[in-house]
Amino acid sequence: MSVARYSFINAKIRSMKADILTPAQWDALIGARDMFAALRILDSTSYAHLVQDMGETTSPIEVEHVLQKDFNRVLVEIKNDIPTANQTLMTWITRKFQKEVVKSILRLFTSRSDQATAEKLLIPLEPFTSNRLMALLEAKDLRSMVSEFPEQFFQSEIQKILPQYEETDNLFILEHTLDALVIQNLFKEVQQLEGQDREITARLVGTEIDLMNLMITLRTHSLGFSSAETENLLINAAYRLPLELCHRALMSRNFEERVRILQSSYYKDLIAKSWEAYELQQSLAVFEHNAHIQIRTDSEEALIGYPFHFGIVLGFLNLKWYETLNLKAVMNGKADQLDPNIIRRALIL
């Protein structure tokens, strides 16, 4: 691995990392009186130039769009400065974030949400701009909409899966197939790296694969999928969650036993914490929430220590993505006058 290859992008990301919000700033935002007060707190952060002209008449949607544009800006800047040798890898990282936009437009289209709901829930990300996304929602049917996608990869792959969706009317399989395609190709590209470069980047991508397999193994139980159907959905890769363990969990007699089998893995603490919350809430969302916290924690750790590896790129973009989602959650929570404790529990911190 060449230190020279990553010297410039490392310096750029280190500079951007200094702008990530601190725990004290999050405490202040969560405790803010209302959304306007939260915006004034952001006036003293790296977001000052984005929110300085926003006042009490600003809507949460306006704030969300500004925050998403800022993530777009960061993603484009980093992508433009990536070494030539890593451009294919960066393409798959970009698709990792783009697929979240694609999934949101698919959900909104199939549920036939109204414009106000769509504007609130859509996540614009180049080339899926806000105007383009709203135009897609005007398509006469799903096939027509997909044919207008501005990114060829998602257009062609979804068209391959559409017959299966049309047979089952189950969007879950379509969404999961997209997740699996992107993460598998990203993991394949990571294998081309060497040494610590590969080790740290593979840890980040491998953790995502493990936690996707964990959630598939759990979620398909409530969806009533058979063990054979679920096995076909598992990503054929593993990092610290053996596929054999997932297969064994699928043979369990009930959901609690399925969780207990998975808990014998590296992710035992995450699963134990999630199970405790699940018994109170009876919602799989607690498992997914803690999975995202694990990814965020690993991403933060990737930026500590020896800096000349590609993991800093993925790690930082993960942190920036979660920060964007967290800020959107805070602003919406404040606009809806939610209790600060409820807002804090929703954040990926």
Other residues' Cβ atoms within 10 Å of the Cβ of residue 224: 7
> What 8-state DSSP symbol labels residue 138?
T
Q: 133 and 210, same structural domain? A: yes
Residue 310 burial by Cβ neighbours in a 10 Å radius (0-12, 13-18, 19+): buried
- Position 1 scores a pLDDT of 43
Q: 223 and 198, same structural domain? A: yes
| Token pair 């310096």 in the structure block, residue | 11
How far is 216 from 333, CA to CA, in rounded Å? Answer: 29
How far is 313 from 46, CA to CA, in rounded Å? Answer: 19
Q: 185 and 129, same structural domain? A: yes
Q: 193 and 46, same structural domain? A: no
* pLDDT tens by residue, 331-341: 999 999 999 99
* pLDDT tens by residue, 145-157: 999 999 999 999 9
pTM attached to this predicted model: 0.93
Which domain CATH number covers 340? Answer: 1.10.132
Q: 204 and 78, same structural domain? A: yes
For the cut 80, the answer to whether the pLDDT of residue 281 exceeds it is yes
* pLDDT tens by residue, 44-92: 999 999 999 998 899 998 998 899 999 999 999 999 999 888 999 999 9
Answer yes or no: are the C-beta atoms of 105 and 128 closer than 8 Å: yes
Cite the DSSP H helix spans in 52-151.
Answer: 60-81, 87-111, 115-121, 130-136, 142-147
Residue 251 burial by Cβ neighbours in a 10 Å radius (0-12, 13-18, 19+): exposed
Q: At what angle do helices 35-42 and 23-31 cross, to 10 degrees?
A: 150
How far is 317 from 304, CA to CA, in rounded Å? Answer: 15
In a 13 Å sphere around the CA of 208, the CA atoms on its Cβ side amount to 22
Cβ contacts of 2-6, under 8 Å, gap ≥ 24: 3/308, 5/83, 5/85, 5/308, 6/83, 6/307, 6/308, 6/309, 6/310, 6/312
Report the domain count for the chain: 2
Q: 298 and 170, same structural domain? A: yes
Domain range holding 163?
61-306
Segment 316-339 shows an average pLDDT of 96
Q: 95 and 32, same structural domain? A: no
Q: 161 and 37, same structural domain? A: no
Answer yes or no: are the C-beta atoms of 323 and 20 closer than 8 Å: yes
Q: Which of 306, 321, 339 is the last residue of a domain?
A: 306
How far is 70 from 64, CA to CA, in rounded Å? Answer: 10
Q: 199 and 114, same structural domain? A: yes
Answer yes or no: are the C-beta atoms of 317 and 97 closer than 8 Å: yes
Confidence of residue 160 (pLDDT cuts 50, 70, 90): very high
Q: Is 129 helix (H, G, I), strand (E, B) or coil?
A: coil
Q: 267 and 211, same structural domain? A: yes
250 Cβ neighbours under 8 A, 6+ residues apart:
217, 227, 230, 231, 258
Confidence of residue 2 (pLDDT cuts 50, 70, 90): low
Answer yes or no: are the C-beta atoms of 3 and 303 closer than 8 Å: no
Q: 233 and 336, same structural domain? A: no
Answer yes or no: are the C-beta atoms of 287 and 258 closer than 8 Å: no
Q: 239 and 198, same structural domain? A: yes
Answer yes or no: are the C-beta atoms of 182 and 121 closer than 8 Å: no
* pLDDT tens by residue, 25-44: 999 999 999 999 999 999 99
Residue 323 burial by Cβ neighbours in a 10 Å radius (0-12, 13-18, 19+): buried
Q: Which of 291, 306, 321 is the last residue of a domain?
A: 306
